[in-house]
Structure formats: C-alpha cells, structure tokens
C-alpha cells in the first residue's frame, strides 16, 4: 500500500487533495485486503484509484463588456462498476484536476453506500460565478455544456450541482444540453420542480446530514432537542442542515461564507434563516449583512494568518461543517473538543484534515465522515432519476420518507462494517469498508475492463 501511495504521488505530484482522500481510504480498508487476498491479486486498489476517464476542455465565453475569458472545464468519470457515473459540478476559482479527482473518488464510495445503482464522477470549472450577471453565467454554462454534452447522458453520466452550481446553473446547463441533443431526458439532477426536478432534492444533503447525526445521537440515547450547533457555510447544505436542526429542537449559533462568520448567541431561528436564504439565494449577498440586520449577532472577518478558524472555537454540543474541504485542522479540532463538542457530522466533502479526524476518534466523539453523512444529496438525485425514468413525481412525504430510510440504512451499514472489522463505533472505517467492498465486488464480477 505504501508503494501504491508513492506511485500515485509520483505520477500526479500536485494533486494533494486526491492523495489525502486516497490515503484515508487505503488506511481503513487494509484489514479487508488482509482477509480477502483475491482483492490484492486482482489489483483492485490500483484500479479503483485510477479514473476510468478524465475529460479536460477549454471553456471560452464573453462577459457583458464583450471581453473574452477562457476557463478550464473538467469531468472525471471515476468508476462505473455500480451504475452510470454520478456526481456534481463545482464552479469555483480553486477548482483544479486534483480537487475534482478527490471529489470523484469520494463520490464512488458515497454512491455505493446509498444502495442505489450509481457509479461515481465529478466535474466543474475554475470559473467564479460570484459577481457575474445572470447573462454571463448563462453564457458560461452554455459554453461549458457545448463540450460536456458529448460525454454525458441519462444512462452514461448524470451531473448535478455542488459549490457554485445551484438551480440557476442547472437550468442553463440543461437548456443547452436539450438544444444540442434535441431530447428531454433526466441527464442532470437538481432540476427545478416544474420541469423534472424532485421535491426534497434542494433540502436532501442538509436534511440527510442531520438524519444521520440524529441516528448517531440515538446510539447514546440522545436527541437534537436543546443541543447547540456550530454550522459553517451558508449555501445549500448549510441552510438545510440548519433548517432540520431547528426542526428537531436544536439551536444554531453560527453560519459563514468565505469572507467570515456570524455568531448569534440568541440562536438563528426560522425567521433569521429565511433572511439568510433570501440573502444568499436571491440577493447573492455576504453573510456579514446578517449582523447588520440582527445586531445581536457578531461578525468576524476571515483571517487566514491565524492558522485556525475562530468559528470552531465556541462552546457547543455539535459541529456541522458545511462549507468546503479541510476547513477543520488540528487546532480547530482541539478547540472543538475543549469547547465541549461531542458530535461532528460532515455536510461538506472532506472538511476535516486527517490530523483533526485522529483527534475526534481518539477523544471518542461521534464522528460522521462526509461520504456517509452527506450522501442524502446524491441519494435523492438517484430518486430524481428514478422519477424521471418513470415520468412521475412523488409527493414530498414519499421522497423525505425514502431519504430517512436511506440515511438510517447507511448509518447501520457503517456500524455493522466497523464492528465486523473490530472497529466498533468507528464510522470512518465502517463507511470506507462498506463502500469499498460493494464497488470492488462489482468490478470483479465485470472482469478486467
């Protein structure tokens, strides 16, 4: 395994997030390879860490001042052993091949945990939608799809949203795909409700995160009632994580964006959350404006020089990171533990560094890794695909009910796999092992392809 890790680093030295994601999985699946030597003989690790296909392309577009810009587009089709490639698109200036590969790799295991028939992929661009007009975003999306359309399809590869890609972007992308292909199919998920979207899809990642966390609390005979929660981010996942925490009787103290965070000791209630949704989804403003509207809240600007994120340095019971990767480092994890946090459930993808995870596990926290805790989003995307294929729409209660069942089953799957490999209560080991076994068994069934 060390040799393989060195080889992966040697081959693509700049892809540090991908190395981090692969290392975390390799470390935890070692007992599986020891127990089943056929996996090693079939080189499943070498195969599962190499994408089936990587697509990179130029995305030229024109801004409102007739200035031409060129961005880079990506789609990494990582693994199709369990179904068509499935995973979101991220538009953010930090996007590069290493980030998309890490996200695609994680997606393979996450999708496998949902039990739905989906392989794993991820895509995106270093385009920054922030500050761009709707017309500029539309022209970018159309140019992006003018290349991507030839690689995707309802039974081949079905992208969805992620950071910077919400309902607006999915609409523009879908419109261009439909025009180029002259067909109306379920090729993207996260569509608007009146043209093929699923009820509960916008809520699914956040709600699923809290359903998973509630299952973890139940193992200690606890609930969210009265629990205080630190939440980072203020986008899709953060908003609906906060909404479900409130619904279950918890208190939300913080939200953030890439410029800073707000702390509201009185609690972010339903009315304040509605303000945040309008601020972020409609007015596309900054979280700082929350403190202008609600003076009881304190806004702290981001200061990357401090080496830690002060958002994670407040007394609370639970932490629900919902912004981005590596937003909780060793110092943040120590601060969380010192401030009484006993549960961490990851809405964002890979928000905790390996050192932070070690602290959570050493201290016996209830720790849910992202590939389990945030799988609700892609699970409901899978349900959107099913509804599109049948050309029907399920009511809200039906989709939410199915989401709850899926999150409950992922929780049980993780605990069972962890126990089977002598790591009781270790959700990280459980998620990696259970996801891994399903995927490699499917790969072996299908031969060397």
Using the contact rule CB under 6 A, the part of the chain among 31-39, 69-77, 173-181, 257-265 near ligand NDP is 257-265
Report in angstroms how near the CB of residue 106 gets to ligand NDP at its nearest: 9
Report in angstroms how near the CB of residue 188 gets to ligand NDP at its nearest: 13
Q: Is residue 129 involved in binding ligand NDP (CB under 6 A)?
A: no
Q: What value does the CA radius of gyration of the chain take, rounded to a whole number of Å?
A: 21
Is 122 annotated in the active site? yes
Report in angstroms how near the CB of residue 347 gets to ligand NDP at its nearest: 6
Catalytic residue among 86, 101, 110, 122: 122
Q: How are beta strands 343-345 and 318-320 bridged, if at all?
A: parallel
Query: Based on the number of CB atoms within 10 Å of its own CB, is 441 exposed (0-12), middle (13-18) or buried (19 or more)?
Result: middle
Residues 6+ away with beta carbon under 8 Å from 406: 114, 115, 116, 208, 375, 376, 379
Nearer to ligand NDP, 51 or 377 (CB): 377
Whether the Cβ atoms of residue 80 and residue 446 lie closer than 8 Å to each other: no
Residues 322 to 381 in contact with ligand NDP, rule: CB under 6 A = 322-324, 347-349, 374, 377
Nearer to ligand NDP, 26 or 163 (CB): 163
Three-class SS of residue 171? helix
Q: Is residue 241 involved in binding ligand NDP (CB under 6 A)?
A: no
Report in angstroms how near the CB of residue 234 gets to ligand NDP at its nearest: 4
Q: Where are any strands of DSSP class E within 285-436?
A: 298-301, 318-320, 343-345, 366-368
Q: Is residue 237 involved in binding ligand NDP (CB under 6 A)?
A: yes
Distance in angstroms (rounded) separating the CA atoms of residues 449 and 221:
47
Nearer to ligand NDP, 327 or 423 (CB): 327
CA angle 95, 210, 304 (to 5 degrees): 40
Residues 155 to 214 in contact with ligand NDP, rule: CB under 6 A = 161-164, 166, 205
Nearer to ligand NDP, 146 or 246 (CB): 246
Nearer to ligand NDP, 100 or 146 (CB): 100
Q: Please choose, from the candidates 153, 163, 87, 148, the residue with its C-alpha nearest in 3D space to the C-alpha of residue 122.
A: 87
Residues 6+ away with beta carbon under 8 Å from 33: 1, 39, 40, 45
Q: Please choose, from the candidates 191, 178, 169, 109, the residue with its C-alpha nearest in 3D space to the C-alpha of residue 149.
A: 178
Residue closest to ligand NDP, measured at CB: 235
Q: Is residue 107 involved in binding ligand NDP (CB under 6 A)?
A: no
Residues 6+ away with beta carbon under 8 Å from 188: 158, 159, 160, 170, 173, 174, 177
Token readout for 35 is 């127990």
Q: How are beta strands 318-320 and 228-231 bridged, if at all?
A: parallel
Report in angstroms how near the CB of residue 204 gets to ligand NDP at its nearest: 7
Report in angstroms how near the CB of residue 386 gets to ligand NDP at its nearest: 17
Binding site for ligand NDP (CB under 6 A): 161-164, 166, 205, 233-238, 257-259, 322-324, 347-349, 374, 377
Catalytic positions, written as ranges: 122
């Amino acid at each position: 395994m060390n040799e393989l890790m060195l080889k992966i680093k040697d081959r693509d030295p700049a892809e540090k997030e991908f190395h981090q994601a692969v290392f975390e999985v390799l470390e935890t699946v070692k007992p599986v390879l020891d127990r089943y030597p056929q996996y090693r003989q079939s080189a499943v690790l070498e195969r599962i860490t190499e994408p089936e296909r990587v697509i990179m392309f130029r995305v030229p577009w024109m801004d409102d001042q007739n200035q031409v810009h060129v961005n880079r587009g990506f789609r990494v089709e990582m693994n199709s052993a369990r179904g068509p490639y499935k995973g979101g698109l991220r538009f953010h200036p930090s996007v590069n091949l290493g980030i998309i590969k890490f996200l695609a790799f994680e997606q393979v295991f996450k999708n496998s945990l949902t039990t739905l028939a989906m392989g794993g992929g991820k895509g995106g661009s270093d385009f920054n939608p922030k500050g761009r007009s709707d017309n500029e975003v539309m022209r970018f999306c159309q140019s992006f799809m003018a290349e991507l359309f030839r690689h995707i399809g309802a039974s081949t590869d079905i992208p969805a949203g992620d950071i910077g890609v919400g309902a607006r972007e999915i609409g523009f992308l879908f419109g261009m795909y439909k025009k180029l292909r002259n067909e109306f199919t379920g090729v993207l998920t996260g569509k608007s409700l009146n043209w093929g979207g699923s009820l509960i899809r916008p809520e699914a990642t956040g709600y699923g995160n809290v359903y998973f966390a509630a299952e973890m609390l139940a193992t200690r005979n606890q609930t969210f009632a009265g629990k205080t929660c630190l939440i980072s981010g203020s986008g899709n996942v953060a908003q609906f994580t906060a909404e479900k925490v409130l619904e279950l009787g918890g208190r939300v103290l913080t939200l953030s964006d890439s410029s800073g965070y707000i702390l509201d000791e009185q609690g972010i209630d339903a009315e304040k959350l509605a303000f945040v949704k309008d601020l972020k989804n409609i007015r596309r403003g900054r979280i700082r404006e929350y403190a202008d509207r609600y003076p009881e809240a304190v806004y702290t600007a981001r200061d990357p020089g401090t080496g830690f994120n002060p958002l994670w340095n407040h007394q609370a019971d639970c932490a629900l990171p919902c912004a981005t990767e590596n937003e909780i480092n060793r110092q943040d994890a120590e601060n969380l533990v010192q401030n009484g946090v006993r549960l961490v459930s990851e809405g964002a993808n890979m928000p905790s560094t390996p050192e932070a995870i070690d602290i959570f596990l050493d201290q016996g926290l209830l720790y849910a890794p992202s590939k389990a805790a945030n799988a609700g989003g892609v699970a409901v995307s899978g349900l959107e695909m099913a509804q599109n294929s049948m050309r029907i729409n399920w009511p809200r209660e039906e989709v939410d009910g199915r989401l709850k069942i899926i999150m409950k089953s992922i929780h049980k799957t993780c605990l069972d796999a962890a126990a089977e490999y002598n790591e009781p209560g270790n959700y990280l080991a459980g998620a990696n092992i259970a996801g891994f076994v399903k995927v490699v068994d499917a790969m072996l069934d299908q031969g060397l392809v």
